[in-house]
Amino acid sequence: ESTISDLAAVLGVSLSAVTSLVDRLVNDELVERRHSEEDRRLVLVRLTPRGEQVLAAKQAASTQLIAAAFASLTPREISTLTALLEKATVNLTEARSS
């Protein structure tokens, strides 16, 4: 479970964007909202069983696609790519912080 604020922070988007997305996901019965028992002001969002199924299917499809994309790379090429992606990740993290 996550709050709308937590989701916005993780995704790096506005609260209104997450609220709009959650509205659509609720309508599609992929997530559900509920009030926190500790703090009724907080609205928590969690996947429904259907949402968990859709997520699992998407993750499996992504894994297969990524495996296909890297299937022909040599171990050296994978090592180089990994180093470049790690460097890009650091650069993006620093850019976001400033």
Residue extents of the structural domains in the chain: 2-71
> What SS3 state is found at 56?
helix
**Ramachandran angles phi, psi of 88, nearest 5°:** -65, -40
Q: What does the pLDDT read at residue 28?
A: 98
Mean pLDDT split into 10-residue runs, the chain, 98 residues:
94 94 98 93 95 98 95 96 97 89
Q: What does the pLDDT read at residue 23?
A: 97
Q: What does the pLDDT read at residue 19?
A: 95
Q: What does the pLDDT read at residue 29?
A: 98
E strand map for the chain: 2-3, 31-35, 43-47
CATH number for the domain formed by residue range(s) 2-71:
1.10.10.10
DSSP 30: S
In angstroms, the first-to-last Cα distance of the chain is: 29
